[in-house]
Amino acid sequence: MIKTAFITGASSGIGRATAVALGKAGFQLVLAGRRRERLEELARELAEVPTQLLTFDVRDRAAVEAAVQSLPVAFQDVDVLINNAGNAHGLAPIQSGNPQDWDDMLDGNVKGLLYVSRAVLPAMTRRNAGHIINIGSIAGYEAYANGNVYCASKAAVASLTKCMRLDLLPHHIRVAEVNPGAVETEFSAVRFKGDTERAAKVYDGFEPLRAEDIADVIQFMVTRPPHVNIAEVLILPTAQGAATTIRRE
């Protein structure tokens, strides 16, 4: 029986690459994101893969619930949930941070993960089966200057992942976290509010990870036998030793 993978933030970066990888691995896909045109482009690329597109912002609980409830019967029993949607906004010391940036990060990275998980979990708990992978960050384990609220939001993801794994243990649901280091996606462009020149400098002088590198690991994790849960993965480019320690040539 074909399995269903539900991916948030599927319109770009790690989410998009994961959709491609899981489509190739034989999953049918629920692709969720805010940018409908990008989701439609991805669906065309995955022409041979059964897909359903959901357009919503994970920060909007009512929209999340309505979108999940709108899924056709064939896609309702989600086997794998990839909580990938999230964001980083700004890089400022706490005393001069933008409160709207704080709200956006906490609402997207923490509350959005909760809203989507809560909407999808009833079908998993009913079947006593499922697999959830939360996309964290090295920033959830290592604080760095000016990272404050972003680091805190990803630390919350790490803690939530552990708690979810305990809460869902009686239901045979695997819960895991993938923590990337420096990955070249739209992440930095979003953090720096569209300043592409500043964003590009983040990756100067070394070879960062690609979204496909993270997707390969996720594909491996979700295709392990049911008795195996790869609970936590930290993925760094070879040139990175810690959150802000990178060897640049």
Active site residues: 150, 154
Closest CA to 185 of 237, 241, 142, 146: 237
Question: Please, which residues bridge with residue 235 across strands?
Answer: 180
The answer to whether the Cα torsion of 136, 54, 48, 38 is positive or negative is negative
Largest CA-CA distance found in the chain, in angstroms, rounded:
54
Tokens of 202: 């983040």
Measured CA to CA, the distance from residue 18 to residue 13 in angstroms comes to 9
Buried b (16+ CB within 10 A) or exposed e, 127-148: eeebbbbbbbbbbbbbeeeebb
**Calculated CA dihedral for residues 46, 28, 214, 16, nearest 10 degrees:** 40
Q: For residue 22, how many other CB atoms are within 10 A of its CB? A: 25
